Amino acid sequence: MSESGDPLVSADWLMANISAPDVRIVDATWFAPWTDPPETAHDLWKRGHIPKAVYFDIDDIADLNSPYPHMLPDAVKFSSRVRKLGLGDGSRIVVYDQNRFFASARAWWMLRVMGHKDVHVLDGGLHAWVTEGGALDDLPTPPGERHFTPRVRSDLIMDARGMEQLVGSARVRIIDARPDGRFFGRDPEPRPGMPSGHIPGSINVPGNLLVTEDGRMKSASELARLIPEPAKPTVATCGSGVTAAITALALARLGNWDVAVYDGSWTEWVSDPARPIAKG
């Protein structure tokens, strides 16, 4: 069930195709709460977005009964929410954000978990669009409800039990996308009371290393140097499943479209004191 090609599209491509009747545009900007952003992501969308873009809120399109933040909802809730956004069967979906793939990569992964194949991420996000001369709109986008048929790909999502079974196994690589200080246990986690460190056997490729200073994904050749053996079966993890999706996006660019994301990530892993923590 693998996909192919580049998961990213350029601002030039979007400008040339934005008027196509099947193209749907999604702003999935998200800011971690501990960064204390001056505006909410939704306020930024209201102030200026790519024409036709609807706002995709990962904290709302989520399992609100979970103790962990923005966990993937079940297929019924997901399809209900995206249907009301006008995202559905036959749509070519382009996701972007205003914050260096937070959380356009997460929305891209969520849509693919739910079985939608024709979804791409705008390389460079809103900044690239504006830099290339793209206009902004501050008017609400009439969504026009559209039917969405979920076809859940369970292979793209990993839970705590599955991760426990991977510890000590060499058959699947675990890539942790958190900053190295948190991974190695030198720096504290931003969520209060949470220990730092990493899942035993995992390797560290911080998500910020995959992105250029102007917010674009690095080239395939640069990514291959950062993540060797891209075809190796891989699970991506991070703090709460957002940065991990950037790892999955980067590996899709290298041809591996089957990377799973550990949805609960470090937040869930350390919730059980019986689970091992490695440092150093």
Query: Which residues are marked as active site?
Result: 238
3-state secondary structure of 89: coil
64: Cα within 13 Å, side-chain hemisphere: 6
Residues with Cβ within 8 Å of 138's Cβ and at least 6 positions away in sequence, in order, are 46, 47, 48, 49
Comparing CA positions, the residue from 106, 90, 121 lying closest to residue 25 is 121
If one counts every other C-beta atom within 10 angstroms of the C-beta of residue 164, the result is 15
Q: 130 Cβ partners below 8 Å, 6+ apart? A: 136
Question: What DSSP string runs through 100-160?
Answer: TTTTHHHHHHHHHHTT---EEEETTHHHHHHHTT---B-S--------------GGGEE-H
Tell me the CA distances in angstroms from 43 to 70, 138, 169, 203, one per residue in order.
19, 10, 45, 36
